[in-house]
Structure 1
Amino acid sequence: MMSYKVGNKLKLDEVIGLYKDSTLGKRRPVKDRKRFLKMIKNANLVVTAWDNKKIVGIARAVSDFSYVTYLSDLAVRKAYQKKGIGKMLIKKIRQKSGPKTKIVLLAAPASKKYYPHIGFEQHNSVWLLKPDKKLKG
């Protein structure tokens, strides 16, 4: 039976294994353990999905619990995808964020069809400053 937990006190190797076994592992620093640990520990809203004692999904976010929640990561093991786990993780994030809080995310190319399917609207005003780029002016 699937269960869901809130909190970022997780075993690093289990979480890295989850990311590697999802489509998100290719775009996150799974080989840089120190950086990856900071990603998990500094997220102030983390919800995980468990199949017995095996972590099978994670939603990692930063929220002010009033206006906006930035959903940084949504990862579900490949064998567990298309079973409603991702949607339930987002639902739990939304519940914890607060009733008037919007959720914002950057979607991976492979998930462009997923988010509209569950109710997200595309927004064209996203700006990104990558770590290797300098702020001009």
Structure 2
Amino acid sequence: MTIQYLINTPISTNQFIDILCRSTLGERRPIDDHECMEGMVNNSNLLVTAWDGDKLVGVARSMTDFHYACYLSDLAVDRDYQRQGIGKQLQILTRQQLGKHCKLILIAAPAANAYYQQLGYAAIPRCWVLDAGQALEPS
């Protein structure tokens, strides 16, 4: 099996939903909201994909300014292809697209904490989330 990696090759919303479902990430994404998923795909500005022939087997979807911060929003690898280094290679290729001062930032599922730690990520407990529909409190 030879995996081919591509940078910013467009994928369809259905392909994106499918790879999320074939990974563990589909459980934590709004895969039943096609409009939202379409927006996620269309408004990303860095997409690294892994292909086994014409089958999408992995994706790293990011939003970045390429110079200071890159938010790796989705890292998904088909369950049948996990533990083969595909996720790590997707991150390496993502990192290679960024400037020398750019930080790679992600929010990990609790079960993935050990994975990211072994790759060299630092856990930083300063993340804050304002849920959709929640109003900012006046000061």
Equivalent residue letter for 2:112: S
Shift of 1:97: 1.5
* Cα-to-partner distance string for 1:27-83 (whole Å, 9 max, x where unaligned): 111111111011011010010000111000000001101111011010001111111
Equivalent residue letter for 1:76: V
Equivalent residue letter for 1:107: A
| Paired position in structure 2 for 1:78 | 79
| Paired position in structure 2 for 1:94 | 95
For structure 1, list consecutive stretches of 5 or more residues without a partner in the other structure. Answer: none
In the alignment, the residues of structure 1 paired with residue 78 and residue 66 of structure 2 have an alpha-carbon distance, to the nearest angstrom, of 28
Q: Is the 8 A contact 1:8 1:40 kept in 2?
A: no
Shift of 1:14: 1.8
* Secondary structure in structure 1 of the residue aligned to 2:80: helix
Shift of 1:16: 1.1
| Paired position in structure 1 for 2:108 | 107
Q: Which runs of 4+ in 1 moved over 4 A?
A: none
Over aligned residues, Cα RMSD in angstroms?
1.0
* TM-score of the superposed pair, with normalisation by structure 2: 0.94
In the alignment, the residues of structure 2 paired with residue 24 and residue 90 of structure 1 have an alpha-carbon distance, to the nearest angstrom, of 16
For structure 2, list consecutive stretches of 5 or more residues without a partner in the other structure. Answer: none
In the alignment, the residues of structure 2 paired with residue 56 and residue 81 of structure 1 have an alpha-carbon distance, to the nearest angstrom, of 9
Identity %: 41
Residue-pair matches, total: 137
